[in-house]
A and B are shown apart, each in its own frame.
Chain A
Amino acid sequence: MIPQIIKTFLDSDIGYSFKKSKVAIVSSIIFVIIVLTSLLAVVIAPYNPFDPKSVSLMDAFTPPIWSIGGSVDFLLGTDQQGRDMLSTMIYGSQISLIVGFASIIFAMVLGVFLGVTAGYLGGRYEIVVMRFTDVQLTIPSILMALLVDGIARGFISKSLHNDMAIYVLILAIGVSEWPQFARITRAATLVEKNKEYVLASRIIGLSDIVIMIKHILPNILRPILVIATIGLSQAIITESTLSFLGVGFPPTNPSLGTLIRFGNNFLFSGEWWITFFPAIFLVVLALSINLLGDWMRDALNPKLKVR
């Protein structure tokens, strides 16, 4: 079954362009490796950084293995609490990816819903929704996320802050990302809406909801997929930025951004690895997703293809 699917994928036009693009192959391999390691963190990571038994303050500030004073036990060194950097990063990337995926799905559902309805129904509803989108696009997404984050924290009791952090972040990032989706889907819907197959369904008498879900949505998935891929890396970066600014994940449950923030404190005292490795990891992750999105945009939109 699965080999069959892979075979038909590789035989299709998109698969062909995938095979031809070295960038796409490399970045997708890197992305898959990162996702798999973070999913299987419990198995792969050498230590569990959140298990107090495996952490010893005696090991704090061990440099990476190739530096003087490095230890075979800690490949990329340890942080100030003696946690293994590699393990913390793997667990941290797990959090970053969960937040990234969840928030982009949230943004996608909200944006696509508003975009399709606005494009299809038109009229005053469309004008209101799209002006709302325009206004939100003028606010930088980090600022928007900070705002939502701040408001949400105001409503949650302090003792729950750490446990609720993940949901607050998903909401904050999702809310800051939806206008992109709304714009693209509305534009695509406007094109599809006037195509004759949609008119034919309207003449049959199908209801607007059925037409939107069964006819329009499947036909505008391509641009949505492209935006979602590029949006995913954006969401991961936004999450890291928020954590870096101290409004994201608490130190007890660090994401990549939180790790960078801690390492930042020790950057000038010589312990560069604490901030350097998470930062590099973040760059590689975001870059691989972005390159994948770039390729996808070219492959799914033949009009943009350079001859």
Chain B
Amino acid sequence: MTFLKINNLDIEYQTRKETINASRNVSFNLERGEIIGIVGESGSGKSTVANAIINLIDKPGKITNGSILLDETELCNNEEVVRTIRGKKIGFIFQDPQTSLNPLFTIKDQLVETIQTHTDLDYNKSLEKSIKLLTEVGIENPHKRINDYPHQFSGGMRQRVVIALAISCEPDLLIADEPTTALDVSIQFKILNLLKKLTLDRNLGVLIITHDIGVIAEITDKVIIMRYGKIVEYGKTHQVLSKPASIECKSLVMSVPPANKKIDRFKLFSPEGEQIIDTSLNLTNNIIKNWKIRDLSNKKLLDFINVTKVFDGIKILSTKDADDKIQALDNVSFSIFEGESFGLVGESGSGKSTIAKIISGLLPPSKGEVKFENTSLFDPKNKLKIKKFRGQIQMIFQDPYSSLNPRFNIKDIISEPIKFFQKNIDHYSLDQNVNDLIDIVGISRTSLERFPHEFSGGQRQRISIARALATKPRLLICDEPTSALDVTIQAQVLNLLKDLQEQLNLTILFISHDLPVIRQMCDRVAILKKGCICEINQTESIFNNPKNLYTKELLRLMPKIESII
């Protein structure tokens, strides 16, 4: 008897202008004690399928065809049955542990309430059970911690509580929608191991939805690869990832940055399955002439000397309270040489973005000095010089959805920095400049009149790159430029950045939490932990021969696609 059997599931979203098929003919089986992963790019319908199982599809979506059988019970469009099962027989883990617990209730209230709703246990028994659950998911000192509120737990601990909540009523099926996406590598590792252990101990069927192939490789038995609402490949994880049959799957696997070696470029595949070989760059002589490419001098370009940054609240009267001060950086020093790409790695809260903001001039350092070409960037005496340098340091941001002004069209976005630095530029050369830039990043000139919301995340990131290049910068700061993108798009954007660096001799400061990406992109890497630098070295020697304990730990814990191939 199959535990969960999904047959020919069709889900449609009817909007005003069109009908979107979020799921087309999706069928798969899940047995007890098995973990199935659903992978796909954003918009591929992976979450929709999971939501359909517990009948939580948002309007205007509806299931138009197919069946979902859980232990031979039909769940499809059967709200009365699903309501008794939801939470009891099916547990659900959401992506964001910050919002999936009610902040106004203690963990005890939430656990006990859930248990009492679905079982006949009395208060004391439920409490006892709650404590046992917390022990099981690895929360230390559960007797005491159970009286805490969600905000008193860290992100990883909170996700553990969510898991405890999800398994509190002894479900048979656990659905986890991007359970570790919001978490750091080390915590992700622990959570995945916990899920694996629970699956075996309790004989659960687990459905994991993620966009991270590394996670899939680490934990799942079978994998489903989805695209545009259809299953393109379904089979044993090892089989699918090592010998992908379909083009979509091949391009997905090829786009994942390998953690164990440095490759020159990512191989890209066209939808027809041919490999795209040409570089995404078509630099005209015009741009190169315009750019006045400097020779690689290997001189020191940026010097970050003993910088400390402390955040404190603004008060109308200054107090000597040290409580609300947060030390983001503690005596950090490094230097970046012209033409290299320098990587900054660290978990959330390690101060990576603070460094980016200090270099770009958005924040002043509390102590220490930042020198660009031996000129201090925060010395009021150098005001005129600093103004000139501003255009030479540019930044690409993480979130492609907020980094472009939604009210500007693409042409205005790109021409704004040009106009600012060349006040009396004429129309003709402005157009010329904008066209060149849009060509470099591989977006068609016809889209200049369009607005940001008409573009996809990857295209927006390309536009951001064009804007950053408009001032002909020498140092480009990339703050997690691809962490909001799908892997195949990430591969394209990383290729573009590599090409740009090669042809324009850019110096790049690359900030990321993703070690495999860093390995592909950077010449030298600094590992940050809680505002301090643990280790700075050549990328290859850090990955092959880490010296620092923390670095070793990070490298061990990162999810690797190679672990099964």
Given the contacts A196-B397, A215-B405, A201 and B362 also touching, CB distance less than 8 Å: no
Interface residue? A246 (CB, 8 A) = no
Most chain A Cβ neighbours within 10 Å, of B404, B405, B407: B405
User: Are B362 and A124 within 8 A (Cβ)?
Assistant: no
- In the complex, A18→B464 CA distance in Å? 35
Specify which of B58, B406, B416 is in contact with A201 (CB 8 Å cutoff): B416
Interface residue? B40 (CB, 8 A) = no
User: Are A205 and B16 within 8 A (Cβ)?
Assistant: no
Most chain A Cβ neighbours within 10 Å, of B391, B397, B468: B397
Interface residue? A127 (CB, 8 A) = yes
Chain A residues with Cβ under 8 A from B361's Cβ? Answer: 202-203
Chain B residues with Cβ under 8 A from A202's Cβ? Answer: 361-362
Chain A residues with Cβ under 8 A from B316's Cβ? Answer: 124, 127
Given the contacts A127-B316, A215-B405, A203 and B464 also touching, CB distance less than 8 Å: no
Interface bits A200-241 vs B (CB < 8 Å: 1, else 0): 111111100000000100110000000000000000000000
- In the complex, A202→B404 CA distance in Å? 13
Given the contacts A205-B387, A215-B405, A199 and B397 also touching, CB distance less than 8 Å: yes
Specify which of A203, A215, A307 is in contact with B394 (CB 8 Å cutoff): A203
Interface residue? A195 (CB, 8 A) = yes
Interface residue? B384 (CB, 8 A) = no
Given the contacts A123-B314, A124-B314, A127-B316, A204 and B405 also touching, CB distance less than 8 Å: no
Chain B residues with Cβ under 8 A from A200's Cβ? Answer: 395, 397, 403, 464, 467-468
Interface residue? B210 (CB, 8 A) = no
Min CB gap A218→B, angstroms: 4
User: Are A197 and B420 within 8 A (Cβ)?
Assistant: no
Specify which of A122, A123, A197, A204 is in contact with B390 (CB 8 Å cutoff): A204
User: Are A196 and B398 within 8 A (Cβ)?
Assistant: yes
Interface bits B386-411 vs A (CB < 8 Å: 1, else 0): 01001101110111001111110000
Contacts A204-B417, A219-B406 given; 6 further ones with Cβ under 8 A? A196-B397, A196-B402, A200-B397, A200-B468, A204-B391, A219-B405
Chain B residues with Cβ under 8 A from A132's Cβ? Answer: none
Interface residue? B180 (CB, 8 A) = no
Most chain B Cβ neighbours within 10 Å, of A16, A196, A307: A196
Interface residue? B350 (CB, 8 A) = no
Chain B residues with Cβ under 8 A from A204's Cβ? Answer: 390-391, 394, 416-417, 420, 471
What are 27 A-B pairs with beta-carbon distances under 8 A?
A16-B16, A122-B314, A123-B314, A124-B314, A127-B314, A195-B403, A196-B397, A196-B403, A197-B402, A197-B403, A197-B404, A199-B360, A199-B362, A199-B395, A200-B403, A201-B405, A201-B416, A202-B361, A202-B362, A203-B361, A203-B362, A204-B390, A204-B394, A204-B417, A205-B391, A205-B420, A218-B405
- In the complex, A36→B468 CA distance in Å? 50
Interface residue? B59 (CB, 8 A) = yes
Chain B residues with Cβ under 8 A from A307's Cβ? Answer: 58-59
Looking at chain B, what size class is its interface with the partner chain?
A: 20 to 34
- In the complex, A196→B405 CA distance in Å? 9
Most chain B Cβ neighbours within 10 Å, of A122, A195, A203, A206: A203
Chain B residues with Cβ under 8 A from A219's Cβ? Answer: 405-407
Interface bits B353-392 vs A (CB < 8 Å: 1, else 0): 0000000111000000000000000000000000100110
- In the complex, A307→B58 CA distance in Å? 9
User: Are A197 and B314 within 8 A (Cβ)?
Assistant: no
- In the complex, A124→B313 CA distance in Å? 11
Q: In chain B, what residue has the closest Cβ to A216? A: B405
Most chain B Cβ neighbours within 10 Å, of A127, A195, A206: A195
User: Are B394 and A197 within 8 A (Cβ)?
Assistant: no
- In the complex, A122→B314 CA distance in Å? 9
Chain A residues with Cβ under 8 A from B468's Cβ? Answer: 200
Q: In chain A, what residue has the closest Cβ to B400? A: A196
Chain A residues with Cβ under 8 A from B467's Cβ? Answer: 200
Interface bits A172-205 vs B (CB < 8 Å: 1, else 0): 0000000000000000000000011101111111
Chain A residues with Cβ under 8 A from B406's Cβ? Answer: 219
What 10 A-B pairs come out closest when comparing CB atoms? A196-B403, A196-B397, A205-B390, A195-B402, A218-B407, A197-B405, A204-B417, A203-B360, A196-B402, A203-B395
Chain B residues with Cβ under 8 A from A206's Cβ? Answer: 416, 420
Interface residues of A in 5-49 (CB under 8 A from B): 16
